Amino acid sequence: MSIQSGPIYIALGANLPQGSSGPRETLARARTAMDKAGLTVLAASSDWHSPAWPDPSDPPYVNAVVAVKSDQTARAILDVLHTLEARFGRERSERNAPRPLDLDLIDCRGEQLDGEDGVVIPHPRATGRAFVLLPLAEIAPDWHDPVSGRGIDDLIAALPQADRSATYALQEGGKLSPDSLAFAGRGD
């Protein structure tokens, strides 16, 4: 099997501390760990705030997306991501439970795999998630969903307004993005 060339996009999320690291520091450390594991980080979005789902009383998430380069297969990349999650303290208990680190393979060189080798790509729920699409648009404004062919701007516009409003970029210092006064008063 030959490896296609093209970008690989990985979504990062965290809503629990990992040791003494808060979620933002965990994401920074995860980007470094990916690089060391053979997933060369080419671009990284800002960190974004999003409410926990399905239980909004859980701690909110910090999310980001990175573009990486690798000669590895999609299956090997997923194995690396699961190893890193475990190293960062993720325990796979119940679905959508709070976690110190979540790494999802969103798109792997535009490949479409439906359970082959235990891999489903593109990620089947990515196109309906503001916390994936908004940071992805930052680093890949021309990205198109490999399945539907829809552009990222179209996918974002189709999201519920409440999801788009609840997901916003964080500044470097941990405060709110000044891009919109609509976010005034929200904490991170």
Residuewise pLDDT in 10s, the chain (188 residues): 445 678 999 999 999 998 888 999 999 999 999 999 999 999 999 999 999 988 889 999 999 999 999 999 999 999 999 999 999 987 767 666 678 899 999 999 999 999 878 889 999 999 999 999 999 999 999 999 999 999 999 999 999 999 999 999 998 654 443 333 333 333 33
Task: Label residues 133-149 b or e (16+ Cβ within 10 Å = b).
Answer: bbbbbbbbeebebeeee
Q: Which two tokens stand for residue 20?
A: 């003494």
Amino acid at 162: A
CB of 181 closer than 8 Å to CB of 165: no
Q: Which of 13, 17, 80 is nearest to 49 (CA)?
A: 13
CB of 3 closer than 8 Å to CB of 77: no
Note the pLDDT tens digit of each residue in 12-34. 999 999 888 899 999 999 999 99
CA 81 to chain centre: 12
Cα separation, 34 vs 1, in Å, equals 24
Name the pTM for this structure: 0.87
